Amino acid sequence: MRIAFSEDPRDFQRRDWSAIVHADPAGTFFHTPGYLKLYWEEFGETPEHLLLAFAELEDGAQVGAVAFERIGETLRFLGGTEVTDYMGPVAIPETHDDMASGLWTALLARDDWHAADLRGLPEDRPWLGLLRDAASERGLGVEEMEDQNGVAPFLPLPETWDAYLVGLPAKLRHEIKRKARKLEAETGPFAIVSATEQTLIPFLDRFVELHRLSEGPKGVFMQPGMEIFFRRLGEAFGPAGIFRLSFIEVAGVKAAGTIGFCFGGTFSLYNSAFDRELQQLAPGMVLVAENIRQAIEDGCDAFDLLKGDYAYKYRFGARPRAVRRLMVTR
């Protein structure tokens, strides 16, 4: 196996590795070249910081890829911890070992980095152990630690909504039903509406508005640059059905909204916002339950609540999943 490097952002498209993302069990929407290209365009610092690595067989077939950025003498996975939950390589499964070994061998032949700060590696996926062990075998210093917001609650989905409810502890099942009944009793029937190509812009306008009315760090998260990133995600991935923006409408008002990604059989709950005046009625919780119902109807087999160990995520039956970080030094 050969590792070929590129510093040319055109290779996000010219060497499109989307099929490899789908082939790798560790692949997520965050690993796709489309997502990483958009991230680079919005948040990349300078062109020379980009470093793409491609794993190739002797016949030239591309079987793996990983995107890095170089900040000073530190190598990082491209993606940024504020907006990218999972990071790292993807490869055809039978080439995982060779790519992990070949990647460190190729990186050690370069003199443009001293340390590698590798975040976003789920504990239950192979790349954490493969990269850690391959680095250690080459005499590199390796420290494994918890990543920022290092737990991503994860919910396997059954084939039907009824089966999902039956599989919950009785208390959680009762809470989900009770919240929906209370909301309807207090405000009248509610509706779930999803953005289309025609409604995407006004729906995003409302989502941004709700986000900026939030308290604490959430309220200041949606700065102009971040808003542009979210809008570009919707424009780029909405038509393909990956980007999902939904609201719960209460008395004709969009009371809470969620943004998620439906990719590879998993629905990932990416961001949310709700009307603080209706906080006591928990419209956001009712909406997440409806997102789970829709994910099941769409044939998803998992609902990923992504990074952030918040209590509300476990009210839907999610299980904690650790996300780890490797600090590697030469």
Give the 3-state secondary structure of the chain: CEEEEECCCCHHHHCCCHHHHHHCCCCCHHHCHHHHHHHHHHHCCCHHHEEEEEEECCCCCEEEEEEEEEECCEEEECCCCCCCCCCCCEECHHHHHHHHHHHHHHHHCCCCCCEEEEEEEECCCCHHHHHHHHHHHCCCEEEEEEEEEEECCEEECCCCHHHHHHHCCHHHHHHHHHHHHHHHHHHCCEEEEECCCCCHHHHHHHHHHHHHCCCHHHHHHCCHHHHHHHHHHHHHHCCCCCEEEEEEEECCEEEEEEEEEEECCEEEEEEEEECHHHHHHCHHHHHHHHHHHHHHHCCCCEEECCCCCCHHHHCCCCECCEEEEEEEEC
> CB–CB of 26/16 below 8 Å?
no
CA torsion 134→135→138→141, rounded to 10°?
-150
Say if residues 33 and 6 touch (Cβ distance below 8 Å).
no
Question: What does the pLDDT read at residue 186?
Answer: 92
Closest CA to 229 of 81, 57, 43: 43
**For 262-276, how does the pLDDT look when each residue is reduced to its tens digit (9 = 90+)?**
999 999 999 999 998
User: Measured between alpha carbons, how far is 126 from 92 in angstroms, rounded to an integer?
Assistant: 12
Q: Which residues of the chain have pLDDT under 50?
A: none
- pLDDT at position 224 is 86
- Is the entire prediction scored with pTM above 0.75? yes
Residue 329 is predicted with a pLDDT of 98
Q: How high is the pLDDT of residue 279?
A: 85
pLDDT reported for residue 277: 87
CA distance 192 to 249: 6
Tokens of 31: 């690993």
